[in-house]
Amino acid sequence: MIDRARIAALIPHADSMCLLDQVIDWNEGSIRCRAVSHRDPGNPLAVAGRLGAACGVEYAAQAMALHGGLTGAVDGRPAAGYLASLRALVLRVDRLDDLAGDLIVEARRLAGEASSVSYQFSLSHAGTLLLSGRAAVILDAGEA
């Protein structure tokens, strides 16, 4: 099992900004993670105690970064990844902080190379799809 400490070592997000808690499974083409930080009143993305559904994109982005780290798609730990575009983003709920159970974050790599990658992603809760979309990310593979 890949836990939060190992996740934090593989992505450029630190402390409370590391939103993922566990990797459920992964392979060369995809990753599935668990997150509980949406229930944390101190979540750094929350505004006035509310975590809007669009914040789920950051959860997905971290899963994408983690997948890149686990598969070795990037030489070393990237200094940063820049979300270049979102496509077909569908938000099926208004907020995430009022969900009692864990979030399941999934990302499937569609294409990529050393400097850019694209993924299809989704977040679900208790078997219900919360949001989905596609993302293109530009990677800065400089020193972290």
Q: 25-79 pLDDT, tens per residue?
A: 999 999 999 999 999 999 999 999 999 999 999 999 999 999 988 987 555 555 5
CB neighbour class for 69 (10 Å; exposed up to 12, middle 13-18, buried from 19)? buried
State the DSSP H helix or E strand holding residue 28, giving kind and residue range, or none if neither.
Answer: none
Q: How far apart are CA 23 and CA 125, in angstroms?
A: 16
CA contacts within 13 A on the Cβ side of 21: 10
Q: How far apart are CA 87 and CA 77, in angstroms?
A: 26
Confidence of residue 112 (pLDDT cuts 50, 70, 90): confident
pLDDT in tens, 116-133: 899 999 999 999 999 999
Strand positions, DSSP E, 60-115: 80-91, 103-112
Number of domains present in the structure of the chain: 1
Confidence of residue 14 (pLDDT cuts 50, 70, 90): confident
**Residue 50 structural domain:** 2-140
User: What's residue 82's pLDDT?
Assistant: 86
CB neighbour class for 36 (10 Å; exposed up to 12, middle 13-18, buried from 19)? middle
| CATH number of the domain that residue 110 is part of | 3.10.129.10
CA contacts within 13 A on the Cβ side of 84: 11
**Full strand arrangement of the beta sheet holding 103-112:** 2-3, 22-26, 30-35, 103-112, 116-125, 128-140, 80-91
Kindly report the pTM of this predicted structure.
0.91
51 contacts: CB under 8 Å, gap ≥ 6: 38, 43, 45, 95, 96, 97
Position 138: which residue type? I
